[in-house]
Structure 1
Amino acid sequence: MQQKNDKKVIRSWAFFDWANSAYNLVITSTIFPAYYTIITSDKNDNTIDYVTFLGRKFVNSALYSYAMAVAFLVIALISPILSSIADTRGNKKIFMQMFTYIGSLACCGLFFFKIETLEISVILFVLAAIGFWGSLVFYNSYLPEIATVDQQDKVSAKGFTYGYIGSIILQLICFVFVFKPDWFGITDSSIPARLSFFMVGIWWMVFAQIPFKNLPKGSPNFKSEKQNVMTSGFKELKKVWGQVKQMAYLKRFLYAFFFYSMGVQTVMLVATIFGEKELHLPTSKLIATILLLQIVAIPGAMLMSYLSSKKYGNVNVLIGVVLIWIGACVAAYFIHTEYQFYALAAVIGLIMGGIQSLSRSTYSKFLPQESPDHTSFFSFYDVTEKVALVFGMFSFGYIEELSGSMRNSVIALAIFFVLGLLFLLFLKKVQPKSVAVIEK
């Protein structure tokens, strides 16, 4: 049995966030969406930008949303199979490595992204997303194995903090190439962005070696009976759902998590494109804003950890954060100036890391702490999130195509947050004595 609260193991675990969060910042939040919007635009603010992908015509930003939805759908379908194998054989680290290399190599391949290579580049973009989110299934499942219940908020926040710091460092390195290409004799304006994608892949791959070296391979849960690997994962999810239904608190939390996750990740994934298309902000200001958002997220995640552990309890803090998210979505519908965008980005930055970190640790606290099936439980958690994201990203793209405005899509996200809030309020009506650490 792995010794819990080992500082070296926890630090190594957090370094996986350091390694892969560069993808989350550069590819999903800043340089890639800005670059994608620029090269797929006709440079006329009064027209709708269309692209052709696999013979079908799409609004360029809607295609971006659909591509992400496909990536999340793939993860939702394959992670149960892989996590079942990992739980049975105790080799979750192998799957972390596999998804890491898929994602990082796909990022390297995006170096060749030009309008002429749009189709293969969108496919690489999807593969990078699958690599990132697929690795998190196994990364998250380590949390209850390496930390005791009283330390899980702190350890979860440590991971996000490492992630923000690591991603910001690489983002600053990328900025040197993006904003000062003449220092390196670069004359092709597309090379700085494409070089950034390549550096993300290398950064991710190199720093992931720290957790790969020091994390345990995973707690095995050997089963004597032979199983079909294509179905056992889904049977395991069904089994987990059967257990979840017996735990009213956990069930209501997952309902809430499902709905507010539709909004959280979608906002993070489309923020740059929203600023580019709806507010016509220059790329340099957009990237700087998203970077500021990441910096603000560090104290935000630490503040949420402190408030939940020391003051108000996880659920009360989550309710407060979701209320702020609802206000942020409503505000996004009405903003028209760059300074309004900056103010909104600062607010979202404060609550962005906190809600992710707190959701993960809250779920972890509810789990049977000595169970060998942590990967199955976290697979269920991740599938819940990915299915939510499929709905979130698809609805965002579809509503934009239907109405002609991303602002209407933002209002739909506000509705998802409201539903999540309602389930969090229902959650407070079930207060078992065993979850005093969750509810103050």
Structure 2
Amino acid sequence: MSGARGNRRGRLGWAFYDWANSAFATTVIAGFFPVFFKTFWSAGSPAETSTLQLGIGSALASLVVLFAAPLAGAIADHGHRKKAGLAIATALAVAATAALFWVGRGQWLTAMMLFVIASIGFFMAMVFYDSLIVDVAAPADYDRVSALGYGLGYLGGGVLLAINVAMTLEPHWFGLVDRAAAVRWSFLSVAVWWALFSIPLFVTVSEPSSRTAPGARDALRAGLAELAVTARDILSRREVWLFLLAYWLYIDGVHTIIRMAVDFGLSLGFGQQSLIVALLLVQFIGFPAAVGFGWLASFWDTKKAIYLGLAVYAGITAWGYFLTAVWQFYVMAAAIGLVQGGVQSLSRSYFARLIPENKAGEYFGVYNMMGKFAAVIGPALVGVTAAATGSARLSIVSIVILFAVGGFLLTRVDAGRAAVVEGRQA
């Protein structure tokens, strides 16, 4: 058992990593990189070309993570190197993000390469970070600790995004010559923010030590051998594979909404500034809401709280059919902020209850792999429905199927039965 488990400083230090790395998710991935890539780094190229370049880069990062995440988790488990893996992935991502500051106009290939490296580092770091939850909290505290992490992530990401948006809207307030300079400084601010606020985790969180921890080469060899074992192990654990299937379906719906919300708003004629306001609403409402979901799960039931979130998501998706005004888009953003962090954080904590603690790294590698493989069915479902019905609004409603089927499969998962198999308390 880790010395940080049951230690309030360790739990808070762990949760603060969400505050640190969420700046990359909001400012870089969701906020500035796609637009700046088109208008600055890929300036002069046809819109279709820059879209293709961006799509290939994003797909490449996802593909690497898809295959590398389970292996990295297995290696970390064998050598008790989850913190070391987190440090390496974070350093890689921070350095690549900072380097975007020096990429000049028209250098789209350099910008894309750095973005791919930073994205791989970001998502690989999440494998090690998520798996450390079993070292900082007892099973009874998983919900609250996981929710605290997501809550701080929404708040931290929202705070820096708000500052970065102010920099781009009024660059002279910050002594900057124009918006392009403001965006470049925003990327550098993300790197500094990420590095600075990662420190609490490395100072306060400890892993179990092992006198027989293998060397790096032996850990790699053992990790490779363990992947096949892990696959068979998961298939032999009904609660684990059934949860992963349910999670893949409903988180696909969540990710589809995240990816399509801006495009949907633009298709309805809403301005870019309105979309930024909506994004900030999600971030700042997401902080207390995610923490609230952790509190709700502690006295109600984790699965019931997830069901509540999925039901709200289904309602939001259905309501999207009738959306016509900006204020309705804001209400939708607020509703998403209320449940998005809750569904994500409680899914993470519930999964932690289903798995063997000594294999948390490799299991969370598979968990994160499923998350990266999400938003595959949803966009296809939306596209097929739109083509079949000729209605973009009706195509959005089709996502409800993912929440319904995923939620139903979740009803068949029993954490208590998994705890009996692992010989511990749920």
Which of 185, 192, 199 is residue 209 of structure 1 equivalent to?
199
How far apart are the structure 2 equivalents of 1:400 and 1:52?
27
SS where residue 28 of structure 1 aligns?
Answer: helix
Matched, 1:323 2:318: no
**Partner of residue 256 from structure 1, selected from 246, 250, 259:** 246
CA distance, structure 2, for counterparts of residue 131 and residue 211 of structure 1: 17
Contact residue 5 and residue 147 of structure 1 kept, 8 A: yes
Shift of 1:400: 11
Structure 2 residue 367 is matched with structure 1 residue 366: no
Map 1:108-257; keep pairs closer than 5 Å: 108-112=98-102, 116-217=106-207, 220=210, 222=212, 232-233=222-223, 235-257=225-247
Tell me the CA shift for residue 247 of structure 1: 3.0
CA–CA distance in structure 2, aligned partners of residues 34 and 7 of structure 1: 40
The yes-or-no answer on 1:424 pairing with 2:410 is yes
| 1:79 to 1:11, Cα distance in 2 relative to 1, 3 A | same
**Count of aligned positions:** 419
Structure 1 residues 396 and 284: alpha-carbon distance in aligned structure 2, compared to 1, 3 A threshold: farther
| Structure 2 segments unaligned to the other structure (5+ residues) | none
CA offset digits 1:100-148 (Å, max 9, x no partner):
1221222223335676223332332222221111101000111112111
1:268 aligns with 2:254: no
Rounded to whole Å, the distance in 2 between the matches of 1:336 and 1:88 is: 54
SS in 1 for 2:69: helix
- 1-structure distance, mates of 2:95, 2:385: 32
Q: Which residue identity does 1:28 align to in structure 2?
A: I
Map of 1:287 onto structure 2: 276
8 Å CA contact 2:18, 2:150 repeated in 1 = yes
Normalising to structure 2: TM-score of the pair? Answer: 0.85
Q: Is the 8 A contact 1:319 1:425 kept in 2?
A: no
CA contact (8 A) 2:289 2:339 kept: yes
Q: 1:190 to 1:400 in 2, by over 3 A?
A: farther
Q: Is the CA contact (8 Å cut-off) linking 2:61 and 2:120 kept in structure 1?
A: yes
Given the alignment, which residue of 38, 51, 54 partners 2:48? 51
Partner of 2:23: 22
Asked if residue 300 in structure 1 is aligned to residue 289 in structure 2, the reply is: yes
CA RMSD, aligned part only?
A: 3.5
Contact 1:92/1:218 (8 A) holds in 2: no
Work out the CA distance in 1 between the residues paired with 2:249 and 2:165.
35
* Counterpart in the other structure of 2:2: 2
Q: Any conservation in 1 of the 2:72–2:365 contact (CA below 8 Å)? A: no
Name the SS of the counterpart of 2:412 in structure 1.
helix
Q: In structure 2, do the counterparts of structure 1 residues 160 and 226 end up closer, same or farther at CA, with 3 Å as the change threshold?
A: closer
- Any stretches of 5+ residues in structure 1 without a counterpart? 43-48, 54-59
Report the TM-score when normalising by structure 1: 0.83
Q: In 2, are the aligned partners of 1:335 and 1:341 still within 8 Å (CA)?
A: yes
Alignment partner of 1:208: what SS?
A: helix
Q: Deviations over 1:144-200 (max 9, x none)?
A: 121111111111111112222222222232233122212244343322222212211
Match in the other structure for 1:103? 93
- Among candidates 353, 363, 366, match of residue 377 of structure 1: 363
Instruction: Tell me whether 1:345 sits opposite 2:333 in the alignment.
Output: yes
Deviation at 1:33, TM superposition (A): 4.1
Question: Judging changes above 3 Å, is the alpha-carbon distance between structure 1 residues 405 and 375 closer, same or farther for their aligned structure 2 residues?
Answer: farther
CA contact (8 A) 2:61 2:119 kept: yes
Q: Secondary structure, in 3 states, of the residue corresponding to 1:51?
A: helix
| CA–CA separation in structure 2 for the residues paired with 1:420 and 1:121 | 37
Distance 1:251 1:433, change over 3 A: closer
The DSSP-based 3-state class of the residue aligned with 2:178 is: coil
Range with greater deviation from structure 2 (95-104 or 24-33):
24-33
**Alignment-derived partner of residue 94 in structure 1:** 84
Is the CA contact (8 Å cut-off) linking 2:353 and 2:419 kept in structure 1?
no
Equivalent residue letter for 1:2: S
Shift of 1:329: 2.6
C-alpha separation in 2, matches of 1:77 and 1:433? 26
How far off is 1:431 after superposition? 6.8
**Cα pair distance change 1:375/1:163, threshold 3 Å:** same
Q: Using the alignment, how far apart are the partners of 1:105 and 1:398 within structure 2?
A: 37
Q: 1:98 to 1:40 in 2, by over 3 A?
A: closer
Q: Distance in 2 between matches of 1:162 and 1:83?
A: 24
Q: Give the residue type in structure 1 aligned to 2:94.
A: S
Q: Distance in 1 between matches of 2:362 and 2:371?
A: 14
SS at match of 2:48: strand
Structure 1 residues 29-55: Cα deviation after superposition (integer angstroms, max 9, x where no partner): 33334545666999xxxxxx83325xx
Q: Distance in 1 between matches of 2:105 and 2:391?
A: 24
Q: Which among 298, 301, 307 is matched to residue 309 of structure 1?
A: 298
Please give the per-residue CA displacement for 1:315-348, whole angstroms capped at 9, x wherever unaligned: 2222222222223233335423322211111111
